[in-house]
Structure 1
């Protein structure tokens, strides 16, 4: 049975919440020595000393002597100084004290003259040149590039204190482990490894138009709650996690936008200090230190090394501290080394642009509360065999959705070759080998197996049982006024059952209405590359007016919650559909559907079958609709991964997603009405620099036909106390219906723009949010005439659907505080108009205070 990465994430979350931290005693190492001129024997003052592969370093004093005290040693130490060639010497990592002297040879390099204006920070001049030369040095200037990548990923629990060892899960893990299984990191913290992986890939990029492809060629992985390299390789392999370009103005990390220290707005976000000029390889570089002007802002602290001749970014160490307005992140560090590339189309050695050749990412995460357990994630990437400005044919970039079945391999000979060629100094060491052994042992612990199973259900919503997944659990139970206690059991097949045939089904029963409901679907997956599916589905169930997957945009949680409480607008529906989906061009998904559905209301409602006769018309409550539709979904730059037989979107990187649908109701197919219906939906998220991030949802619909209200556009109200975005939170259920409408939902997250500047408040990491929701809609006189207010048999007054004034939009505004206790959002909602009273006599209140809960960084 395969268990995927989301299960691991939940397993980590179980261990993060409500646990404890501690540090452990550690050994220090001392290296001393003397740095002199090889020709004259004179001491060299202020030479830079650093451990290779780490940022631990110092400088020599005026007599050329240095003392370096560190917590961990690497295998070598390097020294550099102006006008001298850099030199590296071996270090004995087993000795606690040792002396290493250096004799440096003259390099004969002349440093470019720097003019400093009076009263100006000397670092500013360098940064202005960096932006001025961006068009020459930034990788975006390249028409195409490709390279081989080696990626190593390690995830472990850190700070496992004595108090934490009393946790039942950790206690059982410790009982199964021996003292020889202990792993200590470079900072001296005891680690409990959970995942270790290596991958080799080839990455391809083409500009104008932008196209990307990444082939995960080989991977090996060991991890708790991870068995295969299918989904894992797509998430952990290649450049998915470490592709930041610091020439961009903002760096997206964990769903947030961090200001780049070399972006256009560097002066607004950072304080700079020109610290030194040192030699890195063949480049003499300015060393510029930077830190945020306000520690709570989404900005970095660290160092950047800028080439003194080209003003290119040669190396950067950027760290996010625990003061930033970011949840669950104690510290995050990104280290990049970049090298100038050579134009592969030129016969001469022409410098084209700078690409990263080495990237290290390290993140320390914490759970909720001050006494939380730590989580350590480290990613190391090395790029080589770079080819520049040789674009491939456009068809080449149509990347396969998932890696081949042969991507996973434990062939030691293969990985030994990789470590000697691609990985270099970042290849597996003794600790890495030991990590894999500890993980193997961990997976045999019964308590770990149980945590894996719980995480699998909690994150995916399904429990895997061979070729079948049972669930989803959000739909398992509900209580409402029509069904009483509703119990639902369902299943879907996975790739173990078939890689082409996909079956889904469910049965539900209500203890109050004593009715059995059911649904089923059969799909055949023709192609994963162009995502081509043919399917049929059938459902006989209780639905709610307006709350269709089309109208709520796939908000499954809101759909599940709509099954609870007073079931207003409920109707019995029997639906049959056949559909065909295909993606002929990447980013364009076409769908054709043929179907029928019934509408049998459980609330008092009827309509005129011949509205031109007025009150003399016959009345009817149920509707039979037969239709066909075509839909186009446009999502530029959208990226997917495959989770078994499901395609999971990773988003579009702020490009809009546009969906257009045309539906035709047909009497010739057996329906009651011939009609035409057009709908449009667009949504996007984009950043506004220091002002935060904005998202919008635009939807519109139009039908020129005369139809009963349920076949028009019932607008989605949400009178519940739970805040739900992209609905009208002060509108009643089915309060308004339109035959033509435009709706806009805009939400803006100011992040810490305001609260980060208020003393006493900024430590709470609160975030200001605001929204505006507007709806323009109307009905024709002909559609209004279809409705009837004539009492039903027995004298019951029927439900009447209201209509909006086309010249007066319905509007709501909201504002509130997000990230209270890191999960709670409280928002005030004001309804600005249409307060005269609902069409069904419901008293209206213009104001409400609503709450929601969500986890985010």
Structure 2
């Protein structure tokens, strides 16, 4: 969904209702930029801090005549403003002979000791659990949220270019950002009104969405869900704030003194409360930190106002600016409640000042607080479809009554603009192109079909040679109660057609009772995962990889038919039962054998496995968010854990099935956000097969002979190098998100990210199973890592040119195996923040 942002651009000047606008750069006497200098209107609490390049922009609805710029070690500079709008200012600070007075304590490096700002920070830590709604047993409030996206930095040459021919009317209403001073064009608006209930004793919270409205995208739940996940809730009192999959150290964090400089700048009455003003800015570049200031009350040590701006050097991609403002309302002498939360993000391909991009703005207003009204625990039961907004699209009358902040002229114009754009053929073409890139499917509306996926069109493997694939699926809408999907493929080497056809229907929406079934006849690389669900049309990347390490010739002909029933009695808790019938044989008998001892065969050996299995699966994914209420839903987040328990019972005789056996498998995956130290992903897998089965039905330790980094596999193992009937494996992968490289001067500017991983597996294979598959050992030795735990470790470098990652993989043991690979390099690419 990150590709859904159109990066369209232009330039225009439009005067808004703001009374004073000032922008420019602050330099020292040598012409070098002065980072984190204080810029504010004289005799006011309105100000900002220069960025890494010394640049600033400040805007106010009030009229001011004097701008003040200060930084310790330099003489304070006052500039008389000759007009309401003053852009491109160049301010030079002169080095001072002595330090500034005691009120303004700003300097480059601030002491952690004997610093009044740090003393105040410690008092905030002591009181933070007693501020806001936390100090009440129960709470409730109204919440109004609007999310807006705007094209920014638009220039006239782009307006006149061919790409916008016929769309010039969209540039008639341009405005100027009060944060950055750039021109922008609003193109998307989403409004939500909800009622929030919470119980601090039960540690429960529930949000009931009562109304939703979108500008032109009412039917695109994917966009709405992406916006929701992009702007997650946060609490500035927490030690770490998560934005765009990254954990930023909060300026109110207990670890803040290690990464921020703090200085007491001022004190004043705000809403009849005496408050201190503290400025903060990072101690080092490239870390995930902010710069800004906050006002805090001198008795409750509760925030009155805070602003946060991500520094330009922060190790985050595609986001040039993040700016946050929070205002707190004084209810009485001891209660400060969040009143308004504003966040602006500037999405761009690079961080240069003149680069074009898109603003994402979220404004949240809170009102009508109520406290200590006990509600039954059932009230906090999660909705089955919490992001299904189709039933809550409200009319204008609803919004007139419940909108807690009125729309300005530009925001009102978005609805009209999008209604007009949807009728323009060229805009439809652009929208469809982005949709294809995002989903992989080409929509054919008149047939209610999607063609694709375009990413599966071409492939290659040793059995088929070059391979082409054409597929389609029914698509009447995002919430279809049934769906049919199929494909056909052709291999130019074996000159054979393959196919797959599957369908599913939602019988009951409340319990999510789904019946699915299908058939697939194809060539597949089996053994690329230990615990996998029986997806009829599922296919691994290893089956069609253009480039491989060594001979990728252990491929299988598979003819799979399946029928399955699944139900979700509780949110994110799925139970499914079903049956599969498989026919398996080697796709390259001269290189890879699935032969096994068969006393009933005339030769005593069989090369084909016919097997009917009964399957029962329990899948629990706490914290998972989805959208839609149809037969297929889409995941919104990737921060949830996954617990899977799978039981398979093979029954001999049914449909001439060959083997009686049972298999029990368990897996547990968990992502861990470790504050400023990055993100750890862990997986544990266990499995046991009871009974005698041939190679085609054993548990293969997943190797990886492709050049792609694939979590859950062992990149220094060949396919079928280890085979087990009992196994236990662990995978640990940690991304430090640049925390280490940011401390190395010559690497700092590249914003690289370090990834380390270790993985291990222990397995066993019974003598009976070895004897059963003895004919296959001619070219596939049956080995299990039973003597020692097989392990690998890797070191990776991510964010190379913002899109590439390289992993250097080392094999820890079993180096005497034939053709063992002690070292290998894999990689991947993608757009990540």
Structure 2 residue 241 is the aligned partner of structure 1 residue 251: yes
Conserved? CA contact 1:769–1:815, under 8 Å = yes
Conserved? CA contact 1:147–1:387, under 8 Å = yes
State the alpha-carbon separation in 2 of the partners of residues 774 and 229 from structure 1: 42
Moved more, 201-210 or 676-685: 201-210
Conserved? CA contact 2:146–2:190, under 8 Å = yes
**Superposition pairs for residues 422-437 of structure 1, below 5 Å?**
422-423=404-405, 427-437=406-416
User: How much does 1:72 deviate?
Assistant: 4.9
Match of 2:826 in 1: 850
- Tell me the secondary structure at the aligned position of residue 177 of structure 1: helix
Taking a change above 3 Å as real, the CA distance of residues 211 and 522 of structure 1, as seen in their structure-2 partners, is: farther
Match of 2:780 in 1: 800
Moved more, 714-723 or 559-568: 559-568
Match of 2:183 in 1: 190
- Tell me the secondary structure at the aligned position of residue 449 of structure 1: helix
Conserved? CA contact 2:521–2:557, under 8 Å = yes
Conserved? CA contact 1:696–1:744, under 8 Å = yes
Structure 2 residue 61 is the aligned partner of structure 1 residue 74: yes
Match of 1:100 in 2: none
- What's the CA shift string for 1:391-413, capped at 9, x where partnerless? 3432652314143544224x333
Conserved? CA contact 2:286–2:748, under 8 Å = yes
Match of 2:193 in 1: 200
State the alpha-carbon separation in 1 of the partners of residues 814 and 466 from structure 2: 36
Moved more, 159-168 or 659-668: 159-168
Conserved? CA contact 2:138–2:199, under 8 Å = yes
Taking a change above 3 Å as real, the CA distance of residues 593 and 178 of structure 1, as seen in their structure-2 partners, is: closer
User: How much does 1:320 deviate?
Assistant: 0.5
Match of 2:365 in 1: 382
Match of 2:626 in 1: 640
State the alpha-carbon separation in 2 of the partners of residues 262 and 73 from structure 1: 26
User: How much does 1:327 deviate?
Assistant: 0.9
- Tell me the secondary structure at the aligned position of residue 133 of structure 1: helix
State the alpha-carbon separation in 2 of the partners of residues 562 and 191 from structure 1: 47
State the alpha-carbon separation in 2 of the partners of residues 139 and 802 from structure 1: 62
**Superposition pairs for residues 631-780 of structure 1, below 5 Å?**
631-642=617-628, 645-651=631-637, 653=639, 656-667=641-652, 669-670=654-655, 671-780=657-766
- Tell me the secondary structure at the aligned position of residue 254 of structure 2: coil
Which of the residues 349, 355, 359 maps onto 2:341? 359
- What's the CA shift string for 1:626-682, capped at 9, x where partnerless? 1112111122222222286422223474x5321111111112534211111111111
- Tell me the secondary structure at the aligned position of residue 667 of structure 1: coil
Match of 1:63 in 2: none
User: How much does 1:468 deviate?
Assistant: 2.8
Match of 1:323 in 2: 313
State the alpha-carbon separation in 2 of the partners of residues 542 and 756 from structure 1: 46
Conserved? CA contact 1:469–1:494, under 8 Å = yes
**Superposition pairs for residues 447-596 of structure 1, below 5 Å?**
447-466=426-445, 467-496=448-477, 499-547=480-528, 550-551=531-532, 559-560=540-541, 562-565=543-546, 568-596=553-581
State the alpha-carbon separation in 2 of the partners of residues 705 and 270 from structure 1: 62
Structure 2 residue 219 is the aligned partner of structure 1 residue 228: yes
- Tell me the secondary structure at the aligned position of residue 628 of structure 2: strand
Match of 2:606 in 1: 620
Taking a change above 3 Å as real, the CA distance of residues 326 and 643 of structure 1, as seen in their structure-2 partners, is: farther
Q: CA RMSD in A?
A: 3.7
User: How much does 1:298 deviate?
Assistant: 0.7
- What's the CA shift string for 1:345-397, capped at 9, x where partnerless? xxxx997x765321101011211585742211111110112233433432652
Conserved? CA contact 2:474–2:483, under 8 Å = yes
Match of 2:107 in 1: none
Taking a change above 3 Å as real, the CA distance of residues 445 and 172 of structure 1, as seen in their structure-2 partners, is: farther
- What's the CA shift string for 1:691-720, capped at 9, x where partnerless? 322111221211132211221111211122
State the alpha-carbon separation in 1 of the partners of residues 631 and 742 from structure 2: 44
Count residues in correspondence. 754
State the alpha-carbon separation in 2 of the partners of residues 337 and 712 from structure 1: 61
**Superposition pairs for residues 14-33 of structure 1, below 5 Å?**
15=7, 29=19
Conserved? CA contact 1:606–1:798, under 8 Å = no
Match of 2:265 in 1: 275
User: How much does 1:846 deviate?
Assistant: 0.8
Conserved? CA contact 1:574–1:597, under 8 Å = yes
Conserved? CA contact 2:519–2:536, under 8 Å = no
Taking a change above 3 Å as real, the CA distance of residues 206 and 407 of structure 1, as seen in their structure-2 partners, is: same
Taking a change above 3 Å as real, the CA distance of residues 700 and 240 of structure 1, as seen in their structure-2 partners, is: same
Which of the residues 379, 383, 395 maps onto 1:399? 383
User: How much does 1:574 deviate?
Assistant: 1.7
Conserved? CA contact 1:295–1:324, under 8 Å = yes
Taking a change above 3 Å as real, the CA distance of residues 354 and 719 of structure 1, as seen in their structure-2 partners, is: farther
Gaps of 5+ in 1: 1-5, 33-45, 58-68, 79-94, 98-116, 342-348, 791-796
- What's the CA shift string for 1:235-278, capped at 9, x where partnerless? 546x9725111222111110001111112212212111122223
Taking a change above 3 Å as real, the CA distance of residues 689 and 463 of structure 1, as seen in their structure-2 partners, is: same
**Superposition pairs for residues 82-161 of structure 1, below 5 Å?**
96=84, 120-137=114-131, 139=133, 143-161=137-155
Match of 1:49 in 2: 44
Conserved? CA contact 1:635–1:652, under 8 Å = no
Taking a change above 3 Å as real, the CA distance of residues 304 and 178 of structure 1, as seen in their structure-2 partners, is: closer
Taking a change above 3 Å as real, the CA distance of residues 229 and 836 of structure 1, as seen in their structure-2 partners, is: closer
Match of 1:109 in 2: none
Structure 2 residue 584 is the aligned partner of structure 1 residue 599: yes
User: How much does 1:439 deviate?
Assistant: 3.7
Taking a change above 3 Å as real, the CA distance of residues 828 and 381 of structure 1, as seen in their structure-2 partners, is: same
State the alpha-carbon separation in 2 of the partners of residues 21 and 558 from structure 1: 44
- Tell me the secondary structure at the aligned position of residue 264 of structure 2: strand
State the alpha-carbon separation in 1 of the partners of residues 678 and 763 from structure 2: 31
State the alpha-carbon separation in 2 of the partners of residues 554 and 507 from structure 1: 17
Conserved? CA contact 1:482–1:513, under 8 Å = yes
- Tell me the secondary structure at the aligned position of residue 416 of structure 1: helix
State the alpha-carbon separation in 2 of the partners of residues 404 and 10 from structure 1: 22
- Tell me the secondary structure at the aligned position of residue 268 of structure 1: helix
Match of 2:88 in 1: none
Conserved? CA contact 1:173–1:442, under 8 Å = no
Which of the residues 252, 263, 270 maps onto 1:262? 252
Gaps of 5+ in 2: 23-40, 50-55, 66-82, 86-110
Taking a change above 3 Å as real, the CA distance of residues 76 and 47 of structure 1, as seen in their structure-2 partners, is: closer
Moved more, 478-487 or 847-856: 478-487
State the alpha-carbon separation in 2 of the partners of residues 644 and 291 from structure 1: 48
- What's the CA shift string for 1:594-651, capped at 9, x where partnerless? 221111222331444369x9x9992111111111121111222222222864222234
State the alpha-carbon separation in 2 of the partners of residues 669 and 553 from structure 1: 19
- Tell me the secondary structure at the aligned position of residue 764 of structure 1: coil
Taking a change above 3 Å as real, the CA distance of residues 592 and 356 of structure 1, as seen in their structure-2 partners, is: farther
TM-score (normalised: structure 2): 0.82
TM-score (normalised: structure 1): 0.80
State the alpha-carbon separation in 1 of the partners of residues 266 and 478 from structure 2: 62
- Tell me the secondary structure at the aligned position of residue 786 of structure 2: coil
State the alpha-carbon separation in 1 of the partners of residues 709 and 478 from structure 2: 39
Taking a change above 3 Å as real, the CA distance of residues 729 and 556 of structure 1, as seen in their structure-2 partners, is: farther
State the alpha-carbon separation in 2 of the partners of residues 544 and 810 from structure 1: 22
